[in-house]
Chains A and B, each alone.
Chain A
Amino acid sequence: MTNFDQSDRSLDCAYRTQGLTKIYGEGAAAVHALRGVDLEIPAGEIVVLLGPSGSGKSTLLNIIGGLDRGTEGTVWFRDQELSAISDADLTRYRRDNVGFVFQFYNLMPSLTARENVELVTEIAEGSMESGEALELVGLHERTDHFPAQLSGGEQQRVAIARAVAKRPKVLFCDEPTGALDSTTGRTVLKVLKDVNETLGSTVLIVTHAAATAGMAHRVIHFADGDIREIEENETRLDPEEIEW
């Protein structure tokens, strides 16, 4: 393995995994969540991971997002081997490079919309102003409201603003529309598309709503802990056109 080769790849490859395995439990009760996944995710794309519950897609997202570690195999983020770094470095990696959006938003109920965004901008380098991030998700008003005073869609947009405010290289979204109605869901997907286009962030969306796949550059189908198929969309749908 040469460094040259490595850095060369990192130019257009956000993630690379080799033989990534995740086993929960031991012995007879062991569950193989990931069975030796080999994958490359190009930088700057919207990638949708599709698959039924328990197929391993969330596990993969958690590992490459630095929330969890694989049992075996290697994970590379650009030229950094995530599977080899310490917990503190993993925290650093999340802080500097990664934004997360969750199904249940995970906002701090004790902070206002603006403060939730500032929570991140305070610690991340090179981040945008909180107002700018909220603007990006279409929330100009109600920024001084607490999560309890916001609708589900608004909360999710705050969560996205919080995730993108640091100009993350990668944005991870786990079922981002799972708790939303279709209209609000479409708004949220549109925000994700905008982020991808304006910030150039790689966006990884885990979902079992197959329709979402229409807006992706690349769709990875998951089943039984491994990749079944990878398709590249020739033409991508606008979020407005997505039905579910």
Chain B
Amino acid sequence: MSGDATVSPLDRKLLRDLWRIKGQAAAIGAVIAVGVLLLVMMTGLVTSLDETRQAYYERYRLADVFAPVTRAPDSVIDELAALPGVAAAEGRVAGYALVDLEGVDLPIQARVVSLPDFEAPRLNDVFLTGGRSLDPANPDEILLLKGFADARDIRPGESLDVTIRGAQRAFRVVGLVQAPEFLYVTAPGELAPDDARYAVIWMSRATAGAAYDMEGAFNEALISLARDASEPAVLEAVDRVVEPYGGLGAYGLEDHLSDRYVSEEINGLRGTSTIVPPLFLAVAAFLLYIVVSRMVQAEREQIGLMKAFGYTNLEVGAHYFKLILFIAIGGAIVGCLAGIAAGRGMVVLYLQYYKFPFLLFELRPSSFILGFLVSVCAASAGGLLVLRGVFALTPAVAMRPPAPADYSRTGRVGQAIARLLDQPSRMVMRRVTRQPLRMGGAVLGIAAGMALAAAMTSVMSGFGRTMDLNFNVIDRSDLTVSFTDPKSDKTILELQRIPGVIEVEPVRNVSVVLRNGLMTHRGAVGGRVMNPRLNRAVTRDLEGIEMRKEGVILANSLADKLEIAPGEVLTVEVREGRQPVLHLPVIGTTESLLGSPAYMEIDALNRALREPNRVSGASLRIDSARSDAIYRELKDMPAVAAVSLKEDARASLQELMDSGAGAMRYVMAGIAFIITFGIVYNSARIAQAERERDLASLRVLGFSKGEAAFVLLGELAVVMFVALPVGALLGYALSFGIAAGFSSDLYQIPATFGRADFGTAVLAVLGASIASGWLVKRDVDRLELVSALKTRE
């Protein structure tokens, strides 16, 4: 080493080399940066969401267990509080309501939740963002969920018309709040949140008690667990206590809708962050290996010379290793910084859907360290292979004229075929077969790009398929009506009588817990008419499935979750009315990509419940020209609890898919195509660099530009055509992983093997090849014959 103040000549060479390959170095650095960006952003988001959620829950004392009941006297709360493992218990009144806004034709669904009259709630407190708390002396005061208030532009001090159990009443909004149990808010039966279409109202216990006929009683118990308490044991004990009061089944926080979706999102991010960034880093490692090994190849005389001067293997190796580290660390730094910026941006997006009072993008140092380590390790893996080449070189190579590459072992391969080919084609064939590993690497590289592109286009159309399947094939209604409680099927006739209503199909939805051995699912069974037309169950081939009397039909995803197959018996614990426990055979499965529905023939369901001729809602097809009148009519029907339009549901789901984790698909698809181009272009450039001398020789021998370029581009073409099917297969496999990563409890994204998707990917790869080929050919055309011939490779 030279003195401290001066840069060693090797390091100066390093800087100049970097400058010389700046284009390729930047491209590889960018791939590393993208990988690190995603890693930092996603792990940061996971940390932020997880920790913020935890803090929010603790600060506002979110219950660990929820126990809905039909009606239980307040004294039962003391019984619950005394159970072993229970830290605190509180009863409250909760129920459904409709909000009537001026200028809005459809009634808006709302959930009413009570707050204790004279004290802060022991559990499930709220965070006041504007206005003031309730004055227990004033029964007309309510607090309103901030998201809804913002979406409808309602401010503290304004009045709100609320219909509870058929009676409309004006309340005064005194404050706007957020609450940890409403982080993610959807109307019942809907999957995607829409701030404007669902309200949560808090009122005093006395007011709510009067409105829901719950004076001195509660219909939901909130329970927090003592440290070390066993949740299943507490659930069982709670169920036993509330059973006489119409207990509908206690459930833990993890089954609470809001928390489940947040967990789903966090898990999705965590899953994606372990699959996708490593993919990028692996691609970067591969590219680094190719570029640096090419450089070592080109500089072998210099390496020999350095060794002849007395540099050790390690010193020379370290020189090239530094180059790799330089690119890796550069990429990692850019990736970390961009990751922070992207994470901050994503947080804003998340706050639209997850109503945290605050969400700071926080990074643990471990995210950075991980990003750095992973990128440096990936790059080093590529580098180590290169070092092997450096070590193998002897000083003597500097003194010898270059030996031509040995093709003797490939010469006999396919002599018969070779006889049919002209010499340039033979050159292409031999080159392809000479170093199968190297060619395999190039094929794999391009195939990886193709796979990434194919998988992403496939997943993109998977999103479309999910929407299409649900909103065009399964649900062919225009709107869905839910009743306040199960009504006589005569209500259907009332709906049919509304002018403009073309078709009405009754449904009976029942809350249930499905069990198969240890597998359980909390959801609903949907009773359908024998041959549903508006809201169907469909086969994989999208044919409508006829309901049968004797059993249930499960969504594929639900059957998978419960590990049950047609022919087996499912335990159905009904959580309504008399709460019977039914044992029903599974008679079929249905294709569903939204939620996890289970279906039964409506009469059979009603018979099993011993509640004949009951309906809980209906699907309607209407004349769109008369929709306003129909909405008004529906709004005035006391039986109607909610009306939801298919178009609204579709729009909010689309919006949900286009933001949050779902939005990542656009970013990833963009990156996939850029990477594909990067790999193809790099392969073409490397092939060109390796063949420059041969190409120059051909030109000198009198081959035209096109003929010379054929030798190079022919090789690329062969690699490409091998890579395409390999890439299609890899893409097919990859699409399952990526689709699973994007799928959530909310929606499943199918990994489709659509011809169009793969066609798009093939076109992308071919487009990248043609562009790369053109860029390379341009350079071949400009080849300086003289200087190319002078260089000894």
Q: Is the C-beta of B427 less than 8 angstroms from some C-beta in chain A?
A: yes
A95 contacts across to B, CB distance below 8 A: 701-703
Q: Taking A102-B789, A115-B426 as contacts, is the C-beta distance between A155 and B702 under 8 angstroms? A: no
A200 to B406, CA, bound (A): 35
Q: Is the C-beta of A109 less than 8 angstroms from some C-beta in chain B?
A: yes
Q: Which of B700, B705, B792 contacts A94 (CB 8 A)?
A: B700
B423 contacts across to A, CB distance below 8 A: 108, 111, 115-116, 118-119, 122
Mask, B675-719, CB within 8 Å of A = 1, is 000000000000000000110111111111101000000000000
A115 to B423, CA, bound (A): 7
A88 lies within 8 A of B697 (CB): no
A67 to B403, CA, bound (A): 25
Q: Is the C-beta of A106 less than 8 angstroms from some C-beta in chain B?
A: yes
A124 lies within 8 A of B702 (CB): yes
A51 to B271, CA, bound (A): 71
A106 lies within 8 A of B693 (CB): yes
Mask, A79-100, CB within 8 Å of B = 1, is 0000000011001101110101
Interface centre among B411, B426, B700, B789 (most CB of A within 10 A): B700
Mask, B390-429, CB within 8 Å of A = 1, is 0000000000011111111011000000000011101100
A96 contacts across to B, CB distance below 8 A: 702
Of all chain B residues, which has the CB nearest A115?
B423
Q: Is the C-beta of B434 less than 8 angstroms from some C-beta in chain A?
A: yes
B785 lies within 8 A of A68 (CB): yes
Q: Which of A67, A120, A152, A162 contacts B786 (CB 8 A)?
A: A67
Stretch in A140-148, A184-192, A219-227 touching the partner? A140-148
A148 lies within 8 A of B426 (CB): no
A99 to B447, CA, bound (A): 42
B786 lies within 8 A of A148 (CB): no
Of all chain A residues, which has the CB nearest B700?
A100
Of all chain A residues, which has the CB nearest B401?
A179
A208 to B707, CA, bound (A): 34
Q: Is the C-beta of B431 less than 8 angstroms from some C-beta in chain A?
A: yes
A221 to B403, CA, bound (A): 33
Mask, A116-156, CB within 8 Å of B = 1, is 10111011100000000000000000001111110010010
Interface centre among A106, A118, A152 (most CB of B within 10 A): A106
Of all chain B residues, which has the CB nearest A120?
B701
A105 contacts across to B, CB distance below 8 A: 404
Q: Taking A110-B426, A110-B434 as contacts, is the C-beta distance between A148 and B703 under 8 angstroms? A: no
Q: Taking A68-B785, A110-B430, A111-B423 as contacts, is the C-beta distance between A146 and B700 under 8 angstroms? A: no
A5 to B434, CA, bound (A): 55
B701 contacts across to A, CB distance below 8 A: 94-95, 100, 119-120, 123, 162
A122 lies within 8 A of B703 (CB): no
Q: Taking A106-B789, A122-B422, A122-B423 as contacts, is the C-beta distance between A149 and B697 under 8 angstroms? A: no
Q: Which of B407, B702, B786 contacts A91 (CB 8 A)?
A: B702
Interface centre among B424, B427, B701, B704 (most CB of A within 10 A): B701
Q: Is the C-beta of A112 less than 8 angstroms from some C-beta in chain B?
A: yes
Of all chain B residues, which has the CB nearest A168?
B702
Q: Which of A98, A104, A109, A147 contacts B702 (CB 8 A)?
A: A98
A67 lies within 8 A of B401 (CB): no
A92 contacts across to B, CB distance below 8 A: 702
A144 to B785, CA, bound (A): 28
Q: Which of A87, A120, A147, A162 contacts B404 (CB 8 A)?
A: A147
Of all chain B residues, which has the CB nearest A99?
B701
Distance between B438 CB and nearest chain A CB, rounded to angstroms: 13
A148 lies within 8 A of B789 (CB): no
Interface centre among B401, B422, B431, B792 (most CB of A within 10 A): B401
B403 contacts across to A, CB distance below 8 A: 148
Distance between B428 CB and nearest chain A CB, rounded to angstroms: 9
Q: Which of B422, B431, B700, B792 contacts A110 (CB 8 A)?
A: B431
A148 lies within 8 A of B406 (CB): yes
A146 to B702, CA, bound (A): 22
A91 contacts across to B, CB distance below 8 A: 699, 702-705
Q: Is the C-beta of A10 less than 8 angstroms from some C-beta in chain B?
A: no
Distance between B406 CB and nearest chain A CB, rounded to angstroms: 4
A123 contacts across to B, CB distance below 8 A: 701-703, 707
B704 lies within 8 A of A155 (CB): no
Q: Taking A104-B792, A110-B430, A119-B423 as contacts, is the C-beta distance between A148 and B408 under 8 angstroms? A: yes
A67 lies within 8 A of B785 (CB): yes
A112 to B402, CA, bound (A): 18
Of all chain B residues, which has the CB nearest A59?
B786
B702 contacts across to A, CB distance below 8 A: 91-92, 94-96, 98, 120, 123-124
Distance between A193 CB and nearest chain B CB, rounded to angstroms: 23
A28 to B378, CA, bound (A): 48
A148 lies within 8 A of B704 (CB): no
A67 to B702, CA, bound (A): 10
A148 to B406, CA, bound (A): 5
Of all chain B residues, which has the CB nearest A155?
B404
Of all chain B residues, which has the CB nearest A174?
B789
Q: Taking A68-B785, A149-B406 as contacts, is the C-beta distance between A106 and B697 under 8 angstroms? A: yes
Q: Taking A91-B704, A94-B700, A110-B434 as contacts, is the C-beta distance between A149 and B427 under 8 angstroms? A: no
Distance between A100 CB and nearest chain B CB, rounded to angstroms: 5
Q: Is the C-beta of A107 less than 8 angstroms from some C-beta in chain B?
A: yes
B408 lies within 8 A of A145 (CB): yes
A22 to B200, CA, bound (A): 86
B699 contacts across to A, CB distance below 8 A: 91
A111 lies within 8 A of B430 (CB): yes
Distance between B68 CB and nearest chain A CB, rounded to angstroms: 78
Q: Taking A111-B430, A149-B408 as contacts, is the C-beta distance between A62 and B786 under 8 angstroms? A: yes
A112 to B413, CA, bound (A): 13
Distance between B522 CB and nearest chain A CB, rounded to angstroms: 67
Q: Which of B404, B424, B700, B785 contacts A148 (CB 8 A)?
A: B404
A62 to B401, CA, bound (A): 22
B789 contacts across to A, CB distance below 8 A: 67, 102, 106
B700 lies within 8 A of A104 (CB): no
Distance between B398 CB and nearest chain A CB, rounded to angstroms: 15
B405 contacts across to A, CB distance below 8 A: 109-110, 148
Q: Which of B401, B410, B422, B430 contacts A152 (CB 8 A)?
A: B401
Distance between A64 CB and nearest chain B CB, rounded to angstroms: 13
Q: Which of B406, B707, B786 contacts A68 (CB 8 A)?
A: B786
Of all chain A residues, which has the CB nearest B791?
A104
A96 to B701, CA, bound (A): 9
Distance between B713 CB and nearest chain A CB, rounded to angstroms: 16
A146 lies within 8 A of B411 (CB): yes
Distance between A113 CB and nearest chain B CB, rounded to angstroms: 11
Distance between B751 CB and nearest chain A CB, rounded to angstroms: 42
Of all chain A residues, which has the CB nearest B697?
A106
B406 contacts across to A, CB distance below 8 A: 109, 146, 148-149
Distance between B109 CB and nearest chain A CB, rounded to angstroms: 74
A108 lies within 8 A of B792 (CB): no
Closest 8 interchain pairs by CB?
Answer: A95-B702, A148-B406, A109-B404, A147-B404, A110-B430, A119-B423, A106-B697, A109-B405
Known A94-B700, A94-B701, A122-B422; 5 more pairs at CB < 8 Å: A94-B702, A109-B405, A110-B434, A112-B411, A149-B406
A-B contact list, 11 entries, CB within 8 Å: A68-B786, A88-B704, A94-B701, A108-B697, A109-B694, A111-B407, A116-B423, A124-B702, A148-B404, A148-B408, A149-B408
- Chain B residues near A (Cβ < 8 Å): 401-408, 410-411, 422-424, 426-427, 430-431, 434, 693-694, 696-705, 707, 785-786, 789, 792
- Chain A residues near B (Cβ < 8 Å): 62, 65, 67-68, 87-88, 91-92, 94-96, 98, 100, 102, 104-112, 115-116, 118-120, 122-124, 144-149, 152, 155, 162, 179
